Amino acid sequence: MLGSGLLLPVSLLYFTHVTGLRLSTVGPLLSIAALVSLPVPLIVGHFADRTRPLDRVLAAQVLQAAAYAAYGLVRGPASLLLVAVVAAIGQRLFWSSFFSVVAGLAEPGEDPRHADRRFAVAGMVQMAATGVGALLGGVAVTYSWYQPVVHLNAASFLISALLLLLVPREATPPAGEQMRGGYRPLLRDRPYLLLIAVNTVFALCSIFVGVAVPVFLIDGLHAPHWLVGPLLTANTVLLAVGQRLAVRLVRPLSRAQSLVLAGALWAVWALVYAAAVGVPDWALVPYLMAGMIFYAAADLIHAPISNALSAAAAPSAQRGRYLAVYQYTFAFANILAPTFFTALHARGPAAPWLGLAVVTAAATAVMWTLRTPLAARETEPDRATAG
């Protein structure tokens, strides 16, 4: 995560400033690389329950280390596309495997809700490392230290891979324990497919803050430019330190009920920001800061609980496959978010927020209907070890 944070503010600038390629060339090539990597979760899912998740995460870190080490070899569009594809495949492989590692840490007979805390701790470490990396990346941009930060980025992934070599391996599941039928069981699993659809909308809410808020503040509200940084930074800090507290506070609720609460909070956040167009200038800054409380609360609940629920709701013999496909929720949300925002923003600054409120309310209603079937799955013996 440190490496991912390092590259957030640097990637486009590195290729334009160091290699001399034009931004109009770099952007589409990075988008093509992201599209090429889209089948990775399906491929991972096919082999997921016959391979160790930890080994897949190790391979992902090695791929990313190699890709970023090769940044210095980029001389033109073809070589840029090659390293970008390798990096994107490594990133997809990581996210398609990492949560299986976290789910697999469950001890026999433990309280199933302990998984919520594990996912919370994992999320806090990820956000803290990403935040530190982004801070270092920002310093690198300030002083044009593009080459050193790329080398540091590659080193961070290599160190991660070396550390993973020290982690004890669990036994590979025997062939007799694996379910047959490819993706047919998942495609017939209506509650899980609905969970994937709902989480795609919730993932859209989660990433909407980075896509929409800067443009909305500056172009839609003409708010002070300095406000963008504190709003986004405050949310990152909260995610880095607050997920365990959020898990503790929603413990009386089921996981599905917790996600209903998160969806409701996101819908309120969207409505609050839609109403910002009518707020007087003198009250705008405190209004927007207060409105972000709804977003932060929703994200704090959703981040650990959604991952724990996706693991608990999957059959144990196909958990790796289910979780690999589940990661498409964020892939689809990342693809959808820019178009969703820009298309509605053309109709007025409040339109994207009203649209987000509508789809989030619909997703929350669907999540409400899933309470009973998902709660039943969490108590089934073959699923309980998931979380």
pLDDT digit string, tens, across residues 111-162: 555 666 666 666 666 666 666 665 666 566 566 777 787 888 888 899 989 9
Q: What does the pLDDT read at residue 294?
A: 95
Q: With CA atoms as reference, report the closest residue to 197 among 360, 379, 387, 376.
A: 360
Q: What does the pLDDT read at residue 129?
A: 63
Look at residue 177 and tell me whether its pLDDT is greater than 50: no
| Chain mean position to CA 369 | 25
CB 298 within 8 A of CB 263: yes
Look at residue 181 and tell me whether its pLDDT is greater than 70: no
Domain 2-169 part of CATH 1.20.1250.20: yes
Q: Answer yes or no: pTM beyond 0.85.
A: no
Look at residue 222 and tell me whether its pLDDT is greater than 60: yes
DSSP 141-207: HHTT-HHHHHHHHHHHHHHHHHHHHTSPPPPPPPGGGSPPSTTHHHHT-HHHHHHHHHHHHHHHHHH
CATH class of 184-384: mainly alpha
Q: With CA atoms as reference, report the closest residue to 193 among 48, 314, 372.
A: 314
Band (pLDDT 50/70/90 cuts) for residue 365 is very high
Cα–Cα dist 219/238, whole Å: 26
DSSP state at residue 219 = I
Q: What does the pLDDT read at residue 383?
A: 44
Choice among 119-123, 177-181, 184-188 with the minimum mean pLDDT: 177-181
CB 255 within 8 A of CB 305: yes
Interior angle at CA 302, CA 40 and CA 85, nearest 5: 20
Q: Which amino acid is at 155?
A: A
Residue range(s) occupied by CATH 1.20.1250.20 in the chain: 2-169, 184-384
pLDDT digit string, tens, across residues 9-47: 466 667 777 778 886 787 788 778 888 888 988 888 777
Q: What does the pLDDT read at residue 205?
A: 95
Band (pLDDT 50/70/90 cuts) for residue 373 is confident
CB 192 within 8 A of CB 250: no
Interior angle at CA 304, CA 248 and CA 239, nearest 5: 85
Residue 292 structure tokens: 């972000």
Cα–Cα dist 149/166, whole Å: 26
Band (pLDDT 50/70/90 cuts) for residue 64 is very high
